[in-house]
Structures are given as C-alpha cells and as structure tokens.
Structure 1
Amino acid sequence: MEHKLREFFDNALKEVSLDCTVFGFHEGELKVLLLRWKGTEEWSLPGGHILLDESADDAAGRILSQRTGLSDVFLQQFYTFGNVNRYVYHPEKELLEKLEATFGKGFFDGIIFRRTVSIGYFALVEFAQVQPTPDWFTDECRWWSLAEVPRLLFDHNEMIERALKALRQRIRNQPVGYNLLPEKFTMPELQRLYETILDRPFDRRNFQKLLMSYDILERLEEKRVGAANKSPYLYRFVKEKYDRAGLEGISFSM
C-alpha cells in the first residue's frame, strides 16, 4: 500500500486538492456522505488530490465514483478554500500521531499535511443508488443527517455550510430533484425535498402550480400504493426539458 500511495502522490498536484460535499435525500431528510479516518473517530468529507494529467472536474468525478460507486454524478464547483489556517482543527500533529499509530511511524512523511488550496464541489445523488466506500486513509464511509454532523477535520464543517448555501441558490434559479429523487416520485415527495433544502414550508397547491408551470414534469397514470392518505399520482422529470430549464434558468419564488 505504501508504494501505491507514494506513487499516487508523486503523480498528483501537491498544493491543490478538492473536497466534495455529497448530498442525498432519504426519508424526508437531506444527508451528507462522510469518511472516518483509520484508527480514529475523526470524520471528514470525501476528497483528494488532482492528478497531473486530469482536470479538476475529472478528478472530482473520479473521487466521487470511487466513494459512491456511481458514474455521471452531478457535480458543481462552489468555492475555493485557501485560508492559511485551514488545518487549525484538527491540529495536524495530533492527527498525524493517531494515523501513524495505525500506519506506522514515518508512513506519511512528505506526502500529506502540506498547506493546500482546496476546490469545493457539491454533488447531488440518489441515496438508494450509492454504495458508500472508504478510501486508503479511512475505515468507514456513511451517510449523516445534516443536523447530526459532528465536528469535522480541517475546515470541512464550513465547506458543508457553504455547499448548502450554494445548493439553495441553485434551487432558486435552476430545477433540482433529478439527481436526488428516484425516477418516479409523488408531488408531496418533491415538495418535501424543496422544503428540506430551503428549510421552510410551502402551500401545497401553489407549489404544484409553480412546478408544473416549468413544463419539466410528466404526470403518470400510476399511483403510489400504500401512501398514508389517498394514493397520489406519480411523476417523473422529462430529462430534455429539465436540462433545458437548467440552462435557461427558472425563477423559484414562493
């Protein structure tokens, strides 16, 4: 493993990395994917370095594919993190000591804990399709509810806050849902997604009227069987129209 790691870092940009805030929607909650570092109880966002022969977007796609098992993931750059004190928490010496207890003394000499600038991405994925997979440095990869996210390594709590802000800005100007909901969904499920992201309730009739006005939804003849109330109709996004609305923009204001 040491040989592979050092070979990887020899072929990576040392001063530039990226970190990904992966959002999923499950049981009416917005969740985020986190990694637990080997031999510790410390958590962070998925991320890594950019190889010398790949773009930042390609690196983000590679890393997200490795962590989620998905290809063609929706990704958007949202911020560049270049604070001089990015490693104030967790103190790198203390974390390095914990990692060396697992990997061995001197294992990380010269390959991590330089000062780096990180490009922040957020990703939108369908929760049920993700296969959370840890990387070389981590023991566990799993979903956390946003309300329960612990204190993370480095500046990763700030990254989540900024990613959520960027997602909220996007939802006001572009459609959201294709990457977060299953292929078929009910209007209440779509409304719950919007309410969760924006942290506010909407009137049911007004919400449905506005979303249908974008001409990106198709109502199916199928109904959700076993729903709490009367069986609601199922909907799906019309991909071509959804993509066009994403390019041309919408105005979500309620």
Structure 2
Amino acid sequence: MDPKLKAYFESTLKEVSIDCVIFGFHEGELKVLLLKWKGTEGWSLPGGKIYLEESVNDAAVRILQERTGLKEIFLQQFYTFGGNDRYKNMDKAALFRKLEWAFGADFYDEKYMKRHVSLGYMALVEFEQVVATPDWYTDECMWCEISAIPELLFDHNEMVEVALKALRRQLSYQPIGYNLLPEKFTMPELQRLYETILGKQLDRRNFQKLMLSYDILEKLPEKRTGGAFKAPFLYRFDKEKYDRAMREEILFAI
C-alpha cells in the first residue's frame, strides 16, 4: 500500500467513518454531490475517516471543507448507518481490487476493510459557491439531481433517502433557504425550493403570507428584471432573526 495512504489509515478510527449528503439547489432542482471512484464506474457520496485527535463534528466540518471549499456550512448529523452488510449492492472484493493500481497491491486488506459504522451528515450549500474537489479514492465530482441519482456504491442510496426525509421533517420546525439560495432571491424562487424539497406544489398566496408571518425575510426595494412576466421584488434573509428561528425551532406549518 502507498505509504501515505497507510499512514492515513493508521492515524484514523478504522471502523468509524463519516458520509455526507451535500444538498445544493440550482436552476430549480435539488442536487446532491457525488464522487466517482478511481479506476471504476462507481459513484458514492463524499466521506472520510475520523482522525484520532478529532471530535466527530470537527471531522465532519473538515471533510466538508475539503470537498466543497466552504468554511461556513450548515451541517448536522441525521442518522447512524451500521447494517451488518453495507456492501450488499456491490462486489466488495472486485471494487477494491480495481483500485490496486492507484493505492498499491495490498489495498484490499481485511484489516482495513472490516465492517464499520458510518455517521451520516447532511449539509446545505449554495451551489454557485462550491468548488467540488475529489478525495483520496476518487477522481471526479458531479452534481446530480435527486430524481436522477444512479445506483451508488455501498448503502449510499439509502443515505440519500434518509437525508431527504430528515430535510423534509426539518421544514416543519426550522427555516430552510439561507444556505441554499443566493443572498437575494424572489418569493417564487423561495417557494420553488420548498416545493422541490417537499415534492409537491404549494399555493402561492398562502406560501407568501406564511413566510412573511415568520418575520425572517427582508423585502428589498429592488426587483428581478429581465423575465417575461411582471418583475417580482427581491428578498433576503434577516440573518439575526433567521438564526434565532433556527435556535428556537419555531413551528413552521408548511
């Protein structure tokens, strides 16, 4: 095995890892960041090991920074994945032997590939600010629409499903949007974000009335111009009020 990779494994918790479902909203679609493994056609979620001197949350922040280039990320743990056959959708031996050319002839070693638990973290990022960067095992990044996600390696399809359910539940008690939309946005753009996450259409008037009632939006004197229809006003989140709503988990009856 490559000495640097071996040192990396030996400096981490070998049976605990972190996997991240990174959501980005772009052109009216909710997307997830995927990575393609070297020497294979297999795609997975971003992830990594936990260094021995790190806390779990510090490791998650580091991994997200390495993959996205962002320092301030909305990040929360949403589930622990510990099934006794997390490789059931793949030929584990075949996959890792395909990686021997990149990592050394003994990469597929049972002492490194024991069953392990993965802590699932969910991140919400502004799509345009992300500089997607592969990790040790991968050489390509791709943003994929939720509806078009292929069969992923390991149990990562299940992770995306569980993360999306967690995000939908969150809409009932916390605001969503600060990390997914640009600084200035229109009410229809905000509504489209909620509809995409929930997978259903919402009444325009009721949605606007409800969002304004939470007192987390600031209406700007500017309008979105250049469209075919009447130019809508722009809004932005009041960061102080938004953060307070996040802390207090105000009921959001969307």
**1:146 and 2:158 correspond:** no
Offset of 1:104 from its aligned partner?
Answer: 3.8
Aligned 1:167-178 pairs, distance under 5 A: 167-178=167-178
Structure 2-normalised TM-score?
Answer: 0.96
Whether the 8 Å contact between 1:223 and 1:231 is mirrored in structure 2 is yes
Deviations 1:26-81 (CA, angstroms, capped at 9, x unpaired): 01000000000001110000001111111111111101100111112111111000
Letter in 1 for 2:144: W
| Whole-angstrom CA distance in 2 between matches of 1:212 and 1:234 | 13
**1:91 and 2:91 correspond:** yes
SS in 2 for 1:173: coil
**1:6 and 2:6 correspond:** yes
Gapped runs of 5+ residues in structure 1?
A: none
1:159 maps to what in 2?
159
| Whole-angstrom CA distance in 1 between matches of 2:102 and 2:15 | 25
Deviations 1:142-161 (CA, angstroms, capped at 9, x unpaired): 10111111100110000000
**1:245 and 2:245 correspond:** yes
SS in 1 for 2:200: coil
2:64 maps to what in 1?
64
SS in 1 for 2:144: strand
| Whole-angstrom CA distance in 2 between matches of 1:26 and 1:245 | 25
| Whole-angstrom CA distance in 2 between matches of 1:151 and 1:28 | 23
Offset of 1:107 from its aligned partner?
Answer: 3.3
Deviations 1:86-113 (CA, angstroms, capped at 9, x unpaired): 1112221111121124444213435642
Letter in 2 for 1:191: Q
SS in 2 for 1:172: coil
| Whole-angstrom CA distance in 2 between matches of 1:107 and 1:53 | 24
Letter in 2 for 1:18: I
Q: Percent identity among equivalent residues?
A: 65
Offset of 1:206 from its aligned partner?
Answer: 0.6
1:79 maps to what in 2?
79
Whether the 8 Å contact between 1:6 and 1:111 is mirrored in structure 2 is no
SS in 1 for 2:218: strand
Deviations 1:135-188 (CA, angstroms, capped at 9, x unpaired): 111010110111111100110000000000000000111000000000000000
For this pair of structures, how many residues does the alignment match?
254
| Whole-angstrom CA distance in 1 between matches of 2:103 and 2:18 | 23
| Whole-angstrom CA distance in 2 between matches of 1:157 and 1:228 | 39
SS in 1 for 2:172: helix
Aligned 1:11-22 pairs, distance under 5 A: 11-22=11-22
Moved more, 193-202 or 224-233: 224-233
Aligned 1:172-211 pairs, distance under 5 A: 172-211=172-211
Offset of 1:220 from its aligned partner?
Answer: 0.3
Moved more, 119-128 or 241-250: 241-250
Quickly say closer, same or farther: Cα 1:195–1:54, change in 2 above 3 A.
Answer: same
| Whole-angstrom CA distance in 2 between matches of 1:201 and 1:216 | 22
SS in 2 for 1:202: coil
Letter in 2 for 1:147: S
Letter in 1 for 2:25: F
SS in 2 for 1:122: strand
